Each structure stands twice: as structure tokens, then as C-alpha cells.
Copies of this chain bind each other. A is one copy, B any other.
Amino acid sequence: MEFITGVNRKETLEISELISGGWEGKTVTVNGAVHTIRDMGDVAFVVLRKREGLLQCVYEAGVTGFDLKTLKENAAVEVKGEVNREERAPGGIEIRLREIKVLTEPAAAMPIPISKWKLTSNLETILDLRPVSLRNIRERAKFKIQEGIIRGFRDFLYGEGFTEIHTPKIVSRGAEGGANIFKLDYFGKKAELAQSPQFYKQTMVGVYDRVYEAAPVFRAEKHNTKRHLNEYTSLDFEMGYIDGFEDVMAMEAGMLQYVMKLLETEYAKELKILNLTLPKTDRIPAVRFDEAKQKVSEKYNRPIRNPYDLEPEEEQLISRYFKEECDADFVFVTHYPSKKRPFYAMDDPADNTYTLSFDLLFRGIEITTGGQRIHDYDMLREKIKARGMSEEGMEHYLMIFKHGMPPHGGLGIGLERLTMKLVGEDNVRETTLFPRDLSRLEP
């Protein structure tokens, strides 16, 4: 019997340790995957791929105790060598190799050249080969940016007094329903996959006042577009004791500001790899739905076809308008028509054709839907009735209003869409590790 007392510290070093640590001239041990081998005759550059980036190692015939011919790209290795300052190498250092120990040999060469700076294969091929194409430096950088977004989302909300919750993804069939649901059999009962944590997060406002959840949601929509996925990560928050839906927009603006700051400080390496400029979040314009339609119709000479709907092209034009007029990357569009919003949306008391709700557009695409919710039991039941819906299956949801709920509102953000526009992609599959769409269920 032995005792485990905490993390095993190793003699192998990471890139940040090598750069910061005064290791110059000393012999160190490093592990990694052989990203590329560039053989120049007597000397060869063996570049290792490590979690923090690339590390240049120099193989010298006669000095390095290893036969270079037997070294394969994508082998996992542990090497020993002397740290050398070398301004032309990534990070300004390189390792003069003494020993190479192969930990694992690959059985075959890569099907696509993942060590190229940018993958040039078409998206379908890249997705088919996702388990290995993600080893490309630019590909993996995108998902570090995604990590930064969700991390900033959580850290900011903790700081604002939100509590993290975990709500079920298998739910009883009914209520919000509709055609776009994945159905399943649950031990003989009719169940479905949750399209959103909406009812649960509202429920939890009655418990903690402010809550958030970052988790998968499922939509069986038959859209095959560049912006739709059938499974995605939804960043949801819901907050009580609001004075209006403006408080929700303000919280989102604060969150975005925090995220951008975090990316700037802790993800600078990835921003550089992807050559990104972060969007401005200090002043986000907010414009009414009807006003926004009017503005783009006038400026871009485009007739309004349906006053109660926003077409994808109109979203793009609204974004373009505010980019041109205020140099804004984000724009809140407020007061969506009631008939386009779910029953729990709070109607505008000034004109109940509209709701106290909003979308956030980012570079031409909707990345957030939010708003104030009805909190009064009787008002909610009336709205359900007026819509010709039934209360059946909604008993647990209605229970929270029956026993008292504060005024509240919230929103949901599509993580992959936000990442897509942030890293400058135009297909949401590019920023989803293993996307699920109409035709793709693998890998």
C-alpha cells in the first residue's frame, strides 16, 4: 500500500517554463509530438508540437544519439538536449538534441498535411478527418478561443452573483414542443431532448435569483445552412429582480467586455496565430426591431416584405448599417414582434404587438436571443390560453409562478456561432469540434 499525496511534478518542461526559466545552456528533458522534420543534411530541424505551441529542436549528426532516418512525423517522443537562445525559432529558444526516446510510433503517415500553416482541403474532408486535422496549429487555436469565451462567461457571472446549474437534457415530451424535437423512448415513456434549459433556468431564478448554465441543446431542425447545427452549446443565464430587459442586455454587454479582456490577456498567443482583431464592446447600439427594418430599407433601398419577421439578409444589413454608422460590431435589436416570440415572453405594455425582448447581432448574424419573461401567474395562464395552448405538461413550470416569482429575464447565446464570428469563419462547423448536422453524425 502507498499514499497518493498530490500532483506528480515531472522533470519534463513545458514551453512557458523553458522561455521564462533561465534554462539557457542547461540540459533539459521535453516531450511532444514530432510536428515536422526538416532534414538539411548534417543538421535537421525537428519541431515538436506541445500543448503551448511549437518547439524547435536541432538534430546534429554525431551529436544527437539517434538515427534520424528512423524518426517519424507524429511520433510521440521524449528528448534531452541543451537550451539555446535562437531568435528565429518560435518563442526565441531551441533545443540542441542529445537524445531522442520514441514513446509511440505512428502506424501510418497523416492523410492530410496537418503541419501546414493552414489546411487547404475542403471542409468536408477536414471534418471527416477531424480526429487528426484538429492537430493543425490554427485549427486547435480556434477552440482555445472558444475555451476563452466560455471561461470568461462563467468567471464574469460568478463575479456578478450567479449560481451555476445543471438541468436535465432528457425531458418529458410536451409543452414547448413543436416539430423540431428529437424524440426518444424513456423506459416506455415519451421523452425528448431538451431544446433549451428555459423552464429550468426560470425555475432556478426562484431559488438563487441569478443562475447560468453552459450545456448542450438539441434541435431537430431540417435546415442545412452554414449557421445551423442540430446540437450546440448554449450559454444561458437568467436573472431576477430586473427593472426591465435592458438589465439583461447590460449584463450581456458586461460579460462580452470581460470575455474580450480575458482573450486579450490570456489568449494572446491564439489571437496572434489566427491574426484576429477583437471587436469593440464598450458601446453596443440598441435599436428597435421596426426602426432597424426601416433604417436598412431606406439606406439600402430594400422593400420591407414582412414587417413582423427579420430575414437573414436583413440581419446582415442591420449589422452593416451599424458598422457604417457607428463602427459597431455588435447591435442589439429590441422589441421583437410578439407572434415571433414564445408564449413566456413579456409583451410590451405600451403596444402588445411587440415584446420586451431582444436579439444580439454580431457581424451579420444573431448570436443571442433574450428578454424579459412573464412573472405573473395569471398573466402567464392568460397568454397560454390566448395562444390556444394547453397547460397540460406544464404543471411544474406553472408551479413556480403560482408560488411567487420575481420579475426576471435572461438570454441564450450560441457558443459556436459566437466563436465563428469572432475567429472570422463563415460556417459554424468550422468552430464546432465534432459538428452534428442533417448529414453528419460522425466522427
Chain B residues whose C-beta falls within 8 Å of the C-beta of A402 in the assembled complex: 106-108
12 A/B residue pairs, CB under 8 Å, sorted by A: A2-B286, A4-B285, A33-B404, A72-B404, A104-B407, A109-B403, A135-B207, A146-B166, A151-B158, A168-B231, A170-B218, A182-B185
What is the CA–CA distance of A75 and B405 in the complex, to the nearest angstrom?
8
Structural contact, A7 and B250, CB atoms closer than 8 A: yes
What is the CA–CA distance of A129 and B395 in the complex, to the nearest angstrom?
10
Contact of A161 among B14, B282, B284 (CB under 8 A): B14
What is the CA–CA distance of A161 and B7 in the complex, to the nearest angstrom?
13
Task: Known pairs A147-B164, A166-B216, A170-B436; list 16 more (Cβ under 8 Å).
Answer: A3-B283, A4-B283, A4-B286, A7-B253, A51-B163, A76-B375, A104-B406, A104-B407, A106-B377, A106-B404, A131-B206, A144-B163, A147-B163, A168-B436, A182-B184, A187-B220
Kindly provide the distance from the CB of A132 to the nearest chain B CB, expressed in whole angstroms.
5
Residue of B nearest to A232 (CB): B166
What is the CA–CA distance of A376 and B76 in the complex, to the nearest angstrom?
11
Structural contact, B3 and A285, CB atoms closer than 8 A: yes
Identify which of residues 414-443 in chain A touch chain B, using a CB-to-CB cut-off of 8 Å. 415, 433-436, 438-439, 441-443
Q: Pick the interface stretch among A117-125, A241-249, A303-311.
A: A241-249
What is the CA–CA distance of A147 and B210 in the complex, to the nearest angstrom?
13
Given A6-B257, A51-B163, A75-B404, also A215-B215 (CB < 8 A): yes
Residue of B nearest to A233 (CB): B166
> Quick one: which of A72, A110, A220, A240 has the most chain B CB within 10 A?
A240
Structural contact, B433 and A172, CB atoms closer than 8 A: no
Is A165 an interface residue, CB under 8 A from the partner? yes
Residue of B nearest to A439 (CB): B187
Is A382 an interface residue, CB under 8 A from the partner? no
What is the CA–CA distance of A157 and B215 in the complex, to the nearest angstrom?
19
Is A343 an interface residue, CB under 8 A from the partner? no
Is A105 an interface residue, CB under 8 A from the partner? yes
Structural contact, A150 and B164, CB atoms closer than 8 A: yes
Is A70 an interface residue, CB under 8 A from the partner? no
Is A391 an interface residue, CB under 8 A from the partner? no
Structural contact, A170 and B31, CB atoms closer than 8 A: no
Kindly provide the distance from the CB of A198 to the nearest chain B CB, expressed in whole angstroms.
13
Chain B residues whose C-beta falls within 8 Å of the C-beta of A72 in the assembled complex: 404
Residues of A that sit less than 8 Å from B by CB: 1-8, 10, 12, 14, 31, 33, 50-52, 72, 74-76, 78, 103-111, 129-132, 134-135, 140, 143-144, 146-147, 150-151, 154, 158, 160-161, 163-172, 182-187, 189, 191, 193, 200, 203-204, 206-210, 215-216, 218, 220, 222, 230-231, 233, 240-241, 243, 246-247, 249-251, 253-254, 257, 282-287, 291, 332, 375-378, 396-397, 399-407, 415, 433-436, 438-439, 441-443
Residue of B nearest to A1 (CB): B287
Structural contact, B103 and A407, CB atoms closer than 8 A: yes
Kindly provide the distance from the CB of A287 to the nearest chain B CB, expressed in whole angstroms.
5
Kindly provide the distance from the CB of A224 to the nearest chain B CB, expressed in whole angstroms.
10
Structural contact, A31 and B406, CB atoms closer than 8 A: yes
Structural contact, B132 and A400, CB atoms closer than 8 A: yes
Kindly provide the distance from the CB of A170 to the nearest chain B CB, expressed in whole angstroms.
5
Chain B residues whose C-beta falls within 8 Å of the C-beta of A184 in the assembled complex: 182-184, 193
Residue of B nearest to A247 (CB): B8
Given A215-B215, A375-B104, also A191-B441 (CB < 8 A): yes
Contact of A183 among B171, B185, B216, B282 (CB under 8 A): B185
Structural contact, A401 and B107, CB atoms closer than 8 A: yes
